[in-house]
């Protein structure tokens, strides 16, 4: 394979297999991959000179490369939140909107006391994924965990991990890059689960003769058909279609389809309906319901799956389901145009309202701040509330789904 792109011998080709110096997203969610004096923006496209995007790096320090980089997660301090930090030797550079902050570069110890110089990699770790809002700094087999609030540093040794030349947090997972490979690890324990290393060209860039996974492609909005959609208590919005799902709330850092079994490994045949309630997510397939505890990652509750009759007091298959924010009634759509309500606080759970709907059939449903959206093929119908939907006899005016709603291609 050719080492260069477009015949320009000055540009490296990441599809040839190279070792990155650093990887970081910016405040808009664009991911930058650094190698020497060049970078790549996003998961496709040729290399460009780094100083075309981060001009002062070269003008001030003539660095030619960076040792490490990360995007700060610190919502308690908006002066730092979403800023990009670059490290070279004993210096740190802070950027926002691709502009160097006043007073930079500084010594690493000035901004991050206790963190060593000449780093190999760095990655942010928000509270909930780490114990507190933190940054993981890598040097050799040592990992220096920096608490953003207290500025305390705790050093761990993860000798089971390769030496990371770059580290990257993406969709709440953590990746150590080494050579042209990567290894996924747990940010608190460093534990590695699964078969690693894996070739980065199969996952983090679009390269000829490389690729992976479910073969998921973002559909055109006019061809969209959902199986289910839900927003959990943490604000994560999931769209399900066939064997795949997509996180919609991660739009800033890129939309990507994954197999459902990646997150909910026990759900192997797709889903008919999904809803969220009380920090749990309920996945329905056939007459079975799976309930997972919500956290940084989902865990199946012991004893599940159970039958719908046993858990919710209903029988038959489910077309769609939704729970509105701060409510405890799950609205279950069955038989094409019947909406059956079940009080999730009741014992035993039984149907306490059964009403016809003016629309049939329904593929998926979501309740949020803008009301209830019922999805049917590439269109949706909006109702202000569950009561209006239940009492209404006139079909709402259908509207086409859009990229802004569900991440499809307009």
For the annotated binding site for heme, the residues are: 212, 256
Query: What residues have CB less than 8 Å from 33, skipping those under 6 apart?
Result: 14, 20, 22, 23, 39, 40, 166, 204, 205
Edge-to-edge strands, sheet with 371-376: 364-368, 371-376, 379-383, 399-400
Kindly report whether the peptide bond that precedes residue 348 is cis, defined as omega within 30 degrees of 0.
yes
Cα gap 93→108, rounded to integer Å: 9
CB 255 within 8 A of CB 246: yes
Give the residue ranges of the annotated binding site: 212, 256
Provide the CB-side half-sphere exposure for 67 (13 A, CA).
Answer: 18
Q: Is 235 left (phi over 0), alpha (psi -120 to 50) or beta?
A: left
Q: Is 171 left (phi over 0), alpha (psi -120 to 50) or beta?
A: left
Count Cβ atoms below 10 Å from residue 401 Cβ, excluding itself.
Answer: 23
């Amino acid at each position: 394979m050719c080492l260069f792109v477009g015949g320009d011998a000055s540009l490296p080709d990441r599809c040839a297999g190279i070792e990155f110096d650093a990887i970081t997203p910016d405040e808009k969610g664009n991911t930058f991959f650094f190698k020497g004096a060049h970078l790549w923006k996003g998961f496709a496209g040729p290399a460009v000179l780094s100083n075309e995007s981060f001009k002062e790096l070269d003008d001030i320090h003539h660095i030619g490369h960076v040792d490490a980089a990360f995007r700060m997660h610190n919502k308690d301090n908006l002066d730092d939140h979403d800023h990009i930090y670059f490290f070279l030797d004993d210096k740190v550079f802070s950027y926002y909107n691709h502009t160097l902050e006043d007073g930079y570069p500084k010594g690493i110890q000035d901004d991050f006391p206790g963190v060593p110089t000449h780093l190999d990699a760095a990655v942010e770790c928000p509270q909930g994924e780490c114990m507190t809002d933190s940054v993981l700094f890598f040097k050799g087999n040592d990992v220096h965990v920096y608490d953003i609030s207290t500025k305390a540093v705790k050093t761990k040794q993860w000798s089971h991990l390769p030496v990371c030349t770059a580290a990257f947090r993406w969709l709440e997972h953590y990746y150590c890059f080494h050579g042209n490979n990567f290894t996924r690890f747990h940010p608190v324990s460093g534990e590695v689960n699964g078969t690693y290393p894996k070739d980065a060209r199969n996952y983090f860039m679009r390269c000829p003769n490389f690729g992976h996974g479910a073969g998921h492609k973002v559909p055109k909005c006019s061809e969209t058909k959902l199986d289910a959609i839900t927003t959990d208590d943490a604000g994560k919005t999931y769209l399900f279609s066939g064997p795949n799902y997509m996180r919609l709330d991660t739009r800033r850092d890129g939309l990507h389809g994954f197999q459902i079994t990646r997150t909910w490994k026990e759900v192997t045949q797709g889903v008919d309906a999904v809803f969220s309630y009380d920090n749990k997510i309920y996945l329905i397939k056939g007459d079975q319901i799976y309930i997972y505890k919500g956290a940084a990652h989902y865990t199946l509750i012991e004893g599940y799956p159970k039958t719908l009759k046993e858990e919710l007091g209903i029988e038959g298959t489910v077309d769609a389901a939704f729970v509105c924010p701060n409510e405890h009634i799950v609205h279950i759509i069955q038989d094409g145009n019947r909406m059956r309500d079940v009080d999730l606080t009741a014992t035993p759970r039984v149907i306490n309202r059964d009403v016809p709907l003016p629309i049939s059939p329904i593929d998926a449903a979501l309740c949020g701040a803008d009301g209830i959206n019922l999805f049917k093929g590439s269109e949706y119908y909006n109702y202000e509330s569950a009561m209006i939907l239940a009492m209404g006899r006139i079909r709402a005016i259908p509207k086409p789904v859009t990229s802004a709603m569900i991440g499809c291609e307009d």
